[in-house]
Every structure is written in C-alpha cells, then in structure tokens.
Amino acid sequence: MERNYYREGFENFLKEKSDEYKLYPSEKVWNNINQKLHPRRKWPFLAAALLLLGIGVGTKIMIDDWNSPVLSSLENKATPTDLYEELNNTTEPPASVDSKKASGLSIAVINDDRIHVGDSRNLQKAELSPVREPENSNNNSILQADGLVTKNLNNNLIVGDQTTDQIQAKVVPFSAPAPENDKIIDEKIEQKKENPISATIETIITGIGKVKKKTSWQMYMSPTVSYRKLVGQASKSNYSYSGFAYSANLGFPTDVNDAVTHKPSVGIELGTAFLYPVSKNFRLKAGLQLNLNNYQVEAYSYIPEIAPFGAGNFTQPINTVSYYRNFNGFDRTWLKNSHFMISVPLGVELTVIGNKRVAFNIASTIQPTYVINNQAYLVSTNLKNYAQEPSLYRKWNLNAGGEAFMSINTGSVKWVVGPQIRYQILSSYKEKYPIKEHLIDYGFKIGVTKIIK
C-alpha cells in the first residue's frame, strides 16, 4: 500500500484503485437499455386505438349473435320498410320458428289500408278468430300461405298464431318503434288510399328517415395534460457544444431526449360535434374543436448567443439570437411552450355495450388541424440553446384522437364522460428542422348530447 502510494504517485494510486473497483448493475438497467434499443411497439397509440376499436366491434358482433342466433340472416330487415317489403314479396311458405325464440319479436297485422308493426306479445287472443280463408283480397291479402293467415272480427288479417308452440308466421326481428311512430306511419298511409302499396312504401321510408336517423348535437370540454414526444439527433455539422473536436464530444447528448428536460402542463379542449346514426350502435361524427396545449422546458437565462436551427445546411443557415441556454446558464427557468389550435374531428362512435340509459362507447377521430398561435421555444440543433423561431412552425397539422366513454341518458339530454387521448401525427415544426415534436394530450371528456328534433 505504502509502496504503491509513494512509488507511483498519488494520481496513479487513485487510478489503480479506482479501476480495481467493480460494481454490478441491477437487471433493470439492461432491460431498460434493451427496450430502448429494440422497442416492441413502434405505433403504440395507433395499435391501442385499433385494439380498442377491434374489441368493441368484436364484442358487438358477439352480443348480437348471442341475442339472435336463428334469425341473424334477417338482421338487415329490421325496419318497418323492410318488413313491409319482405311481406309483400313473399311467395314461399313462411319460416317455421320456435315460439320461444320468436318470443318478443314482431309480427305484422295487415288489412286493406293499414300496416301495424308491433310486439307479438301485445296482441290479444280475443282478436283472433278461427282460421278462415281470406276473402278476395287483391290489395290486402299479401301473404299467400294457406292456413297460416288468420282474420279477426274487424276484418284484419293476422299473420301467425302466437297461441301455438310453433308460430307459423313471417317473423321479422326488429326494434319496436315507439307508438307515436306507428301513428305517423298510419296517418301518412291514410292520406294515400288511391295507391296504397306504393304510397305506403314511400310513407314508411319518409317516416323512418324522420324517426330513426336523428342527428345529435354534442358539446364537450376536456381538461388535458399535455406531453410531447421528441425524435431527433443533434446536427453533426452544427454540433459544437464544447471547443473539442467532434470525437471528443461523443459523450455529450446527441439524442435530443438526453439533452432536454421538460414537464407537462394543463391544457384544455373545447368542441362541438354532430353525430349521425348509421345504425343503432354506430354513429358518424364531425365537428369543430379548439385545443390549447401547454408544456414547459427547463432552461437557463444567459447572455445573447447565436443559436443554429438548420439541419446542418450551411448554404441556408437558420440562426437566431437566444437568451436561454439548455445547460449552464445563470438562472434556471421554465419556459412555457403553448400551442393554440382549431381542428375538425371526423370519425366514428361505437356503442359497445349498454342499454338506452347507460352505455359504454368508444370513438376515434382524425383531426385536420390549423395552428392559430404557437408560442414555443425550440432547442437549437446543437442542443445548446432555446429560442423562438416562427419560420419553423408548422401551420397545418393532423391529429388522431381516441376515447372511451360512458353515456348516461337523462331523458332530454345524454351526458358523456370518459378518458381520451390526442396524438399529433406530424411534427410541430417544418421538415428542415431536424428535431421532430409530436404533442400528446391526455384528457377527461365531459360532454352533453341532445337529439336535434
């Protein structure tokens, strides 16, 4: 010990002993390195959105199949229009359906000028009369199934017999319309007795348009927490952090993520949208939305310096004066970067599960976006300074949004609440700036939806 110390000098002694010392890192260090070098999920947001949508659609299909295993082939004939056409075109014997499976499904009761669509369970046995041959019915005997058509005392033809175990009827599943819908249909048909069938079809189509496809209007707001994803390397030709040659700078951060310290801030999203129902559980969505995105970057005030922002192309240098350093300035400060945007969300909404009162839904949108105001400090391409450089701000952008929410119907309006995420697909800055920034907003949406009458 003494020999070593006095013979080789203090520095050599320290170096020798320091080099002898070894420490073994924990396993998580390698795991983190490996994950960083070989990321398994390149598009986590896209994958998550697709997964969410896939699960939703799959669940929906499974639920529907489970509810209607036998009659699934008739799913598309779920409206009174389809029902009418189906009845009108029938030339073959009606299907034989087990009464248990048919329970709760609708049957058609037809006379010369009326179509009634309703739940078979609502029919009264008293209305039924023994089976008789229908009278000459050029316009009211639509079904041609011998022995299957009954007639009540009011001269109405009734298709099917709910009192037997085997209902021999043309049975079509559908969602029973509200009583007032029946009334609308009936009134329309009454007005066109001259040509009952064609008039009825037209009336029903018109009626369905009014009854089923009601557009909804939604207003919403979301407090958000805004993050950003940075991608990029320091430009080699601009890289002059210290006075060393480039080879001596190897240890300084060249990846922007290693050089920048930032933290999220609170933002907000306000919007309105129209929802158009394509089917019972599937809606198209279009709207207008305002976004305020904030985050902060750590910097140090410093004397004015020239900061490079180009991609190393010295023929067209982009330099600006910076008053902030990324490292080693005078006073530490947090620079606030703010983006104010307007966008047009276009997308779809899907009800995954639930009833008329409470339901779980998912939605995704693509959002062409215009940046109204950008107050952002960019890190210079040598990663040394921060400055504002408006010529590099991108005005038009594209965002993707995804959300999962609960809808609660209170009668006059429907409330929606749930988490959402918004990801900026294109960089906040133009291509000539080598560092790419993708904004990410995590929010909690609160909205109210009202059907437009």
Shortest spacing between CB 219 and another protein, in angstroms: 44
Stretch that binds another protein, among 7-15, 170-178, 209-217, 273-281 (CB under 8 A): 7-15
Binding residues for another protein, total number by CB under 8 A: 45
Q: How many other CB atoms sit within 10 Å of the CB of residue 39?
A: 9
Member of 22, 100, 125, 356 binding another protein (CB under 8 A): 22
**Tokens standing for 439?**
């904004």
Q: Are 382 and 322 in contact (CB under 8 A)?
A: no
| 15 belongs to the binding site for another protein (CB under 8 A) | yes
- Inter-residue long-range contacts of 186-194, CB under 8 Å, 24+ positions, other chains counted: 186/114, 186/115, 189/113, 189/114, 189/115, 190/113, 193/113
42 scored as a contact of another protein (CB under 8 A): no
Burial 360-394, CB ≥16 within 10 A → b, else e: bbbbbbebebebeebebbbbbbbbbbbbbbeebbb
- Non-local CB neighbours of 446 within 8 Å, separated by 6+ positions: 220, 221, 222, 415, 416, 417
**Contact at 8 Å (CB) between 420 and 347?**
no
Is there binding between residue 40 and another protein (CB under 8 A)?
no
List the interface residues with another protein, window 293-332 (CB under 8 A).
298, 327-328, 332
153 counts as binding another protein under rule CB under 8 A: no
User: Over the Cα atoms of the chain, what is R_g?
Assistant: 35
Does residue 18 belong to the site contacting another protein (CB under 8 A)?
Answer: yes
Nearest to another protein of 220, 252 (CB atom):
252
Provide, rounded to whole angstroms, the least separation between the CB of residue 347 and another protein.
Answer: 37
Residue 252 lies near another protein (rule: CB under 8 A): yes
For helices 80-88 and 196-211, what crossing angle results, to 10°?
Answer: 160
Q: Which stretch binds another protein (CB under 8 A): 27-35, 174-182, 203-211, 283-291?
A: 27-35
Question: Which residue lies nearer to another protein by CB, 35 or 67?
Answer: 35
User: Does 38 interact with another protein (rule: CB under 8 A)?
Assistant: yes
Residue where the block lists tokens 């004015």: 304
What CA–CA distance (Å, rounded) separates 162 from 107? 10
Contact residue for another protein among 62, 131, 248, 353 (CB under 8 A): 248
Residues that bind another protein (CB under 8 A): 1-2, 5, 10-11, 13-15, 17-26, 28-30, 32-34, 36-38, 242-244, 248-255, 258-259, 261, 298, 327-328, 332
